[in-house]
Amino acid sequence: MTTSHPQVDRLIGVMHALRSGCPWDAEQTHLSLVHYLVEETGELVEAIENGDDADLLEELGDLMLQVLFHAEIAAEAGRFDIEDVAARIADKLIARHPYVFGEAEVPDDLIGSWERRKKLEKGRTSALDGIPERLSALARAHKVIGRARSQGHPPEELGVEPADLEPSRLGEEFLRLVATAEALGVDPEQEARQALRDLEDRLRRLEAEQPQG
């Protein structure tokens, strides 16, 4: 099915013009844009959580601009362009959803199936491979525990017993732990990073003991 997206084409044209006509846009690099990418992502999250469609529309556009900006920089160097970006993600989604684009059955564990396919595609040997080091301790811990679970290592096996809490209580429980850290005069992020490093060490040992094949 062929569709027309005149406003997307218009945005691409605007990006071309900015790179050739605006000194600030022309001097930007992948690295110089990182700050703006992080900032725009945070603003999009805030718009989603606030439930405001006007803000959501604007912030999605700002994030879309970041993707297009990076693709434009790469295209100027002959490395890849926005079409290549779209093709790569489309190919990836099709490959990881054989039950949508093929004859496979829908797996019982959708998240685990996704992670296992990603592991095979990228030749990863550990659940920790590919998790960004720059994530906060909380965000990284969430990713590590989820990856470990999808590969057969639930948190209990890693020495972390999930608390028996209602979802609505999680936020205040986090705040209670931060207040406890403040009262003790310790940095909660630092303490969480150390605990996470210990958990990752335990996961690596489990993976090393796991039969290959």
Environment class of 60 (CB within 10 Å of its CB; exposed 0-12, middle 13-18, buried 19+): middle
Give the angle subtended at the CA of 116 by the CAs of 112 and 122, to the nearest 5°.
145
For the chain, helix, strand, coil in percent to 5 are 70, 0, 30
Using one digit for the tens of pLDDT, what is the confidence trace for 85-144? 999 999 989 988 888 998 889 888 787 777 777 777 777 778 788 888 878 889 899 989
Residue spans of the domains in the chain: they are 6-95, 101-165+194-209
Report the alpha-carbon distance of residue 59 to residue 40 in Å, rounded. Answer: 7
Report the alpha-carbon distance of residue 64 to residue 8 in Å, rounded. Answer: 10
Put simply, whether the predicted model's pTM sits higher than 0.85 gets the answer: no
Report the alpha-carbon distance of residue 25 to residue 202 in Å, rounded. Answer: 46
Per-chain mean pLDDT for the chain: 89
Question: What pLDDT is stored for residue 209 in this prediction?
Answer: 85
Question: What pLDDT is stored for residue 60 in this prediction?
Answer: 96
Environment class of 85 (CB within 10 Å of its CB; exposed 0-12, middle 13-18, buried 19+): middle
Give the homologous superfamily in CATH for domain 6-95: MazG-like (1.10.287.1080)
